[in-house]
Structure formats: structure tokens, C-alpha cells
Amino acid sequence: MAMGYRVVVVGATGNVGHEMLNILAERQFPIDEITALASRKSMGTEVSFGDKTLKTKDLDTFDFTGWDIALFAVGSDATKKYAPIAAKAGCYVIDNSSLYRYDHDIPLIVPEVNPDAIELAVKRKIIANPNCSTAQMVVALKPLHDRARIKRVVVSTYQSVSGAGKEGIDELWDQTKSIYNPTDDKPARKFTKQIAFNVIPHIDVFMDSGETKEEWKMVAETKKIIDPSIKVTATCVRVPVFVGHSEAINIEFEEFLDEDEARDILREAPGVMVIDKREDGGYVTPVECVGDFATFISRIRQDSTIDNGLNLWCVSDNLRKGAALNAVQIAEVLGQRILKKG
């Protein structure tokens, strides 16, 4: 009897796919066999898995029969085509795209917050990974909600360019260099305006309400993951940072929660690291969170403008907790509660 899992990473040549392979190796996920899939144009590209090198295979012709878990790190269009094929073959899909997040029959999971939702996955064998900006926020909100019940959240995000993929990273790099070399102009292509030395209050498409799709995602996903009664309003901003999303979060509770108690609760919360000293450098910035598994919380303080309010600063590596790490953690919960092999 196999003691480990047969795992597929779909989109293995992308930023998130690379991180999925890294984290599976780092966390020593029990694997008997692993394969890396990519589009036909990337077939044969070599990717690393621990001390091994894998050659990517063609997603279009791959047979998912007999495989246990497929971690999908491709866009919604490819997911829409291939995820049902994998699920029909009996392989559980953990999907990083937005395609299934709002489907009533498909669980949307952050393992520190709502691991019990994994039971719903048996029905369709697909599990959704939340938006990167939502994932880190709900890790911070859930333990506070359990103590004092959250009424309303106002969040402003400072999201790194890696959230827009390799093209986003390249554009920031190229534009930054071009500013110091005026003959080498690099106009905006991936983003709607210059991203180097600038901030852009626009992520994803605009909706009729005036909010962007990214802002809407944070609202809808927080309600689905934690509690539909929580009111959320978000402003999502792209900033010239390569990796690591930051969020300024204002929380209104139903009952009073002292900042010291909140700090103690968060120190004990799974997946959270509190770095909160009221001195120069006594907080975490995106540069410091890169490569780390934790969601970092700083600047915890009372909001004196409302009866039961707190402010806090939340930082996390968006390629990890916001994407690849959360997907691997879901795979761990799936293994422990449903597949029960490793």
C-alpha cells in the first residue's frame, strides 16, 4: 500500500507553480510520485523539486487517472477546461484561480480559518484557493472574530507586482531601470499606468458599482470563509514592491476588545507572527516577509473614533500564503481528513 500521494502541479513553470514545488519539498509533503505539467509550448522545461529536477509534461494530453491531488496554478480559462477532467478521473483539484471561489458547492478554504469546509470537497473533488489579499487578512481576522464578533472591516491593500505574475515583475524592473536611462523608455503594458515610483489604485477590472473586481473578491471571499454577516469595504492598490502584500485593516467589533488582549490572541493564532513594538523598526514590511510562511501582524492599536475598534497592519508573502503555501496546506488537510494515505 502506498504511504504517500501521487501529486500533479499544473502550471509548474509560473511563479506560483515554482513556489508550490518548493513548498511541497520544504514541508516534506508525503509524495510517492510527482509530475509537473505546463502548456505545450513549455513542455520539457526543467523545474526544481527539492534536490530533483523535473521535466514538464504536456497538460493537454495528460491522463489524471490514478493521481491523488492536482495543484492548479493556471488561469481561469485553462482551469475551466482541465479541472473537471482531473476531477472526473478521481483526482482532487486545488485551484488557485478565481473560477470556483464563489461556487456554492465548492469549498473556499484557508486551513487556519475553516478547515472543516474540506468535507464539501467530496462532492465535486474541487477545492478553491482564495485571492492572495483575502487569504492573509482572514488569518488575522478569524481569531479576533471568535472572541468579539466582527461587524465591519475597512481594508486598504498595498499589493506587490508579483500578484500580476512574471509580466508584472518584469515591468517594474524594466521601468525602474529606464527612469535612470531616459533614452530607454518603458511605457506601461501590464499595468494601466507607470508602476515604478508610483502607486495605482486599480487591480483587476472595474465593476458597475465603482469597485474593482479585486475589491469585490475580498468582500465576497471574507463572507464565504468566515461569516456572511461581516461587512467589508476594500480599496486595493498596486505598489512598486516585487513580492509581499501589505494591508492596513480597521476592524469594528460587536463588543469591546482591548488592544493588549487582541495582541495576545493573535500571538497564539495559527499561521500568525506578531511583531509589534512601538519603536523605530518595530513592525514588519514586505521585504522582510519574503520566503516566510507566516502572516505578520504589527501596529495593533485601539481606534478611538468608534466604540469597539482596532487598527492593525498585516503583511505576507503573496506567492506563499496568498497562493502556493495555502494550496499545499489545503492538500495537507485533504490528506489528513479525506484521503488518509500519508
- The residue written with cell numbers 513548498 in the block is 23
Question: 18 catalytic, yes or no?
Answer: no
With the C-alpha atoms ordered 66, 67, 68, 72, is the resulting torsion angle positive or negative? Answer: negative
Q: Is 263 assigned a ligand-binding role in the annotation? A: no
Q: Is 198 assigned a ligand-binding role in the annotation? A: no
Among residues 132, 236, 289, 314, the one annotated as catalytic is: 132
Q: Is 125 assigned a ligand-binding role in the annotation? A: no
Q: Is 15 assigned a ligand-binding role in the annotation? A: yes
SS3 content of the chain, % helix, strand, coil (to 5): 35, 25, 40
H or E element: which one contains 23?
helix 15-26
Q: Is 142 assigned a ligand-binding role in the annotation? A: no
Among residues 18, 91, 245, 314, the one annotated as catalytic is: 245
Q: Is 182 assigned a ligand-binding role in the annotation? A: yes
Q: Is 136 assigned a ligand-binding role in the annotation? A: no
Torsion angle of alpha carbons 242, 202, 299, 307, nearest 10°?
-170
The per-residue DSSP string of 151-199 comes to EEEEEEEEE-GGGG-HHHHHHHHHHHHHHTSTTS----SSSSS--TT--
Q: Is 115 assigned a ligand-binding role in the annotation? A: no
CA angle, 176 then 178 then 179, to 5°: 70
Instruction: Choose among 297, 335, 293: nearest CA to 317.
Output: 293
Q: Is 238 assigned a ligand-binding role in the annotation? A: yes
Q: Is 163 assigned a ligand-binding role in the annotation? A: yes
Distance of alpha carbon 18 from its chain centroid, rounded?
A: 14
Question: 104 catalytic, yes or no?
Answer: no
Euclidean distance between CA atoms 263 and 311, whole angstroms: 11
Q: Is 162 assigned a ligand-binding role in the annotation? A: yes
All cell numbers assigned to 230: 461581516
The per-residue DSSP string of 29-89 comes to --EEEEEEEE-GGGTT-EEEETTEEEE-EEGGG---TT--EEEE-S-HHHHHHHHHHHHHT
Tell me the binding residues.
Answer: 13-16, 41-42, 101, 159, 162-163, 182, 238, 318
Active-site residue list? 132, 245
Indicate the annotated binding residues for substrate.
159, 238
Q: Which residue ranges make up the annotated binding site for NADP(+)?
A: 13-16, 41-42, 162-163, 182, 318
Residue ranges for the known binding site for phosphate are 101
